[in-house]
Amino acid sequence: MKKALKMISNIITAVLFINLILMAILVVSSKASGGEPQAFGYQLKTVLSGSMEPTFQTGSVIAVKPLSSEERKSLKKDDVITFQASEEKLITHRVIGVSSSGDHVMYETKGDNNKTADMEPVLSENVRAVYTGFTIPYVGYFIDFAQSKEGSAILLIVPGILLLGYAAFTIFQALRELDPKDKNTDTNEKTA
């Protein structure tokens, strides 16, 4: 019985510790990169609309690879790209046509779920990244929450408090187990 409880205790400690570390990495990564979490050279983007369904569901997280200026000019039809539509707005759509004029390359794009192509072609200079094929459905809602001030605080503080509380509970249990042994030793010494 004690072995089972100790094993459960170790599992709970490990889960809380791993959760705390992962949340810290997620929050610090998103703050350090200016709002976009990054892992192994890839950026994680949250899908905010249904324009690319069924390829990406709203709320999914996709991994995109940032491109150099040369790579931006070598994209081809059917690549899924993330581009700067305005100062604050990034869009991820599929390339349906490529045209060039001198040194300038332009991409015609369209969301998979949209009936028509995007109104304006995308200049290669505005392309930020290309989709890598990695998607996690619905995790984007969680990442958006983690990037908010409240979410950052909750996701770092709550696991930390739980871990500290659990450590205090474990220490208290260990001290309680030591106390009866000390009392038995004191009682045996007095009767002798």
68, 73, 99, 106 from 102: Cα distances, Å: 19, 12, 10, 11
Q: Choose among 67, 72, 47: nearest CA to 136.
A: 47
Helix (H) or strand (E) holding 100: strand 90-101
Q: Choose among 27, 31, 58: nearest CA to 140.
A: 58
Task: Tell me how crowded residue 36 is: count the other CB atoms within 10 A of its CB.
Answer: 19
For residue 54, say if its preceding peptide bond is cis, omega within 30 degrees of 0.
Answer: yes
Question: How many whole angstroms separate alpha carbon 67 and alpha carbon 129?
Answer: 5
| Residues identified as active-site | 49
Token pair 């039809």 is at which residue?
Answer: 77
Question: How many whole angstroms separate alpha carbon 179 and alpha carbon 165?
Answer: 21
Q: Determine the 3-state secondary structure of 102 from DSSP.
A: coil
Question: How many whole angstroms separate alpha carbon 23 and alpha carbon 21?
Answer: 6
Question: How many whole angstroms separate alpha carbon 169 and alpha carbon 149?
Answer: 30
